[in-house]
Structure 1
Amino acid sequence: MCSDPHRAAFVEVISQSPLLAPVLARWVSVKLPDAWLVAGALAQTVWNRLLGFPPETGIADIDLVYHDATDLSEAAETSHAQRIGALFRDLPLRFDVKNEARVHLWYAEKFGYPIEPYPSSEAAIASFPTTATAVGLRPGQAGYDVAAPFGLDDLMSLTVRPNKRQITEAIYHAKVARWRQIWPQLTVLPWEGTPAPQAGNHPDQK
């Protein structure tokens, strides 16, 4: 267990977002195991707040992940995605809902190399392409749970660092090329010469 110095600021930004606050307010209706809001929608909400941009700038969708190893079918994942989309149909963005327990079933076909099954949503978050987007948040029993395996310093300092645990250099460059166009103030670290980050003692900052 770890207390990240940026945790309070991160939670404040996300919980006050006009795009994400309604999701958090109705979280009890999500009803999915090991579910988290993750990745781009969180990181980009922080970037927009820090840079003074409109809250929706550059955000293409809202990523929601869960982990259900008891049903690895695509049909179940699609059904959950449709239900979540209907639940939040009043919001201006679509939801990308994924069962992280089944990612290994399609990953090789999409990206060209296999991966091991994720044992949890937090394990999946730790494999996300950059340290700034390897984050998750959800309402908990005492406020909010935060998953930040690499801490929050890169995110809150507008730093994009490759997480080489799983992605390729090509995937990293494709992502940061789009981000640079929208948020040119980001400090984007090169793939070459940037050491692979080590997951710290931050898996669940309650």
Structure 2
Amino acid sequence: MEDEQFRQLYGIILKSPLLSALLHNWDKVALPDSWLVAGAIAHTVWNQTFGFPLAHGINDIDIVYFDANDLSEDAEADHAARVRTTFSDLPIWIDVKNEARVHLWYEAKFGYRINPYTSTTDAIATFPTTATAVGLRPGNGSVELCAPFGLFDLLGGVVRPNKRQIRREIYEQKVSRWIEVWPNLSVVGWLEGE
């Protein structure tokens, strides 16, 4: 089943002019432990599932990487600028984050501290929902998938909280935006299933 779900996911992603252009030129991203992640993947799948144009509701594309040797904000900004310039033909903002440095700014933004991540896949496992805790990256003639919660929720249009790190208000803010854009999503409430 997992292989079938992965083929389904990858087939949808390849239809997206935004995401397929990135994946086909992934070597130009040139960052350590880098992955295409989160919202742009989930939103593309939801668009396919609910019959919207594939770019509907997508505000940005997230690329994450892991470089514990340079935790500076300047290095991250330089990498982000380089990647955006490299893919300047894509009509969307590309957000590039070094997951090795998230713990340095997380408390100021969200009000509580987190432990440093040990890898990009460690970070993906903390993403706010099971459907958006997903990453893809090409390499060695194939595509690698990171989906710590599997693909069932993503492919089924289910939004379920991943409570490993986020708090209720973060989840509910995301859900309120998403159900306006994708009203057919099946949303699992924060307190359901406890």
Determine if the TM-score, normalized by the shorter chain, exceeds 0.5: yes
Q: Deviations over 1:63-87 (max 9, x none)?
A: 0000000000000000000000000
Spell out the pairing of 1:116-155 with structure 2 (5 A cutoff): 116-155=115-154
2:10 is the alignment partner of 1:14? no
Determine helix, strand or coil for the equivalent of 1:6.
helix
Q: Counterparts of 2:3 and 2:124 in 1: how far apart (Å)? A: 17
Please identify which structure carries the higher helix content. 2
The equivalent of 1:56 in structure 2 is 55
Residues 1:73 and 2:61 are matched in the alignment: no
* Residues 4 and 152 in structure 1, CA contact (< 8 A), matched pair in contact too: no
CA contact (8 A) 1:4 1:151 kept: no
Q: Percent identity at matched positions?
A: 57
Give the Cα separation in 2 of the matches to 1:117 and 1:4: 32
Q: 2:12, 2:137 → 1: CA distance?
A: 13
The verdict on how the C-alpha distance between 1:90 and 1:147 changes in structure 2, with shifts beyond 3 A counting, is same
Do 1:38 and 1:136's aligned partners in 2 also have CA atoms closer than 8 Å?
yes
- Which range moved further: 171-180 or 18-27? 18-27
Farther off after superposition, 59-68 or 21-30: 21-30
Structure 2: segments with no counterpart, 5+ residues: none
- 1:126-146 deviations in whole A, cap 9, x for unaligned? 000000000000112142000
Displacement, 1:51?
1.2
Q: Give the aligned length.
A: 194
- Separation (CA, whole Å) in 1 of partners of 2:4 and 2:186: 20
- Calculate the TM-score normalised by the size of structure 1: 0.92
Deviations 1:7-62 (A, max 9, x none): 11011111221111111111111110000000000000000011110111110000
**Aligned to 2:18, what secondary structure does the other structure show?**
coil
Per-residue CA distance 1:140-173 (angstroms, 9 max, x = gap): 2142000000000000000000000000000000
Note the aligned Cα RMSD (angstroms).
Answer: 1.1
User: Where do 4+ consecutive residues of structure 1 move more than 6 Å?
Assistant: none
- Counterpart of 1:201 in structure 2 is none
Aligned-partner residue type, residue 69 of structure 2: T
The aligned residue for residue 200 of structure 1 is none
Matches within 5 A, 1:6-45: 6-45=5-44
Given that residues 37 and 134 in structure 2 are in contact (C-alpha distance below 8 angstroms), is that contact kept between their aligned partners in structure 1?
Answer: yes
Task: Give the partner amino acid of 1:97.
Answer: V
Deviation at 1:4, TM superposition (A): 4.7
Matches within 5 A, 1:86-101: 86-101=85-100
1:192 and 1:121 mapped to 2: Cα distance? 28
C-alpha separation in 2, matches of 1:85 and 1:73:
19
